[in-house]
Amino acid sequence: MSEELSKQTDDLHKRFDDLRTDMNQRFVEVNQRFGELREDMGSRITETNRRIDDLRVDMNPRLTDLNRTFRVFMWVVSGWFTFLTAVLAVFGFLRL
């Protein structure tokens, strides 16, 4: 009986060693997967940043043109209000 118990204990130690080896191998594989995911995410972030920079380069002239358009519009509106005020003032004096 003691011999059988010793054999089972040795077998149990062997199974634990096999399990430890298998777990270590799986941890290495998981670490490798995380490394690949990290690299993939890094490349995606780099690509996104490049696209954002391209968008900025594309949008800057458009926003400059829009700013110029609004500036001209404000001058035209201001001019028309000034003209309208002057016309109303003249007609107000003529009516008296």
Of 30-34, 44-48, 79-83, 91-95, where does mean pLDDT reach its minimum?
Answer: 91-95
- What's the 3-state SS for the chain? CHHHHHHHHHHHHHHHHHHHHHHHHHHHHHHHHHHHHHHHHHHHHHHHHHHHHHHHHHHHHHHHHHHHHHHHHHHHHHHHHHHHHHHHHHHHHHHC
Q: pLDDT tens digits for 22-71?
A: 999 999 999 999 999 999 999 999 999 999 999 999 999 999 999 999 99
pLDDT band at 96 (very low <50, low <70, confident <90, very high): low
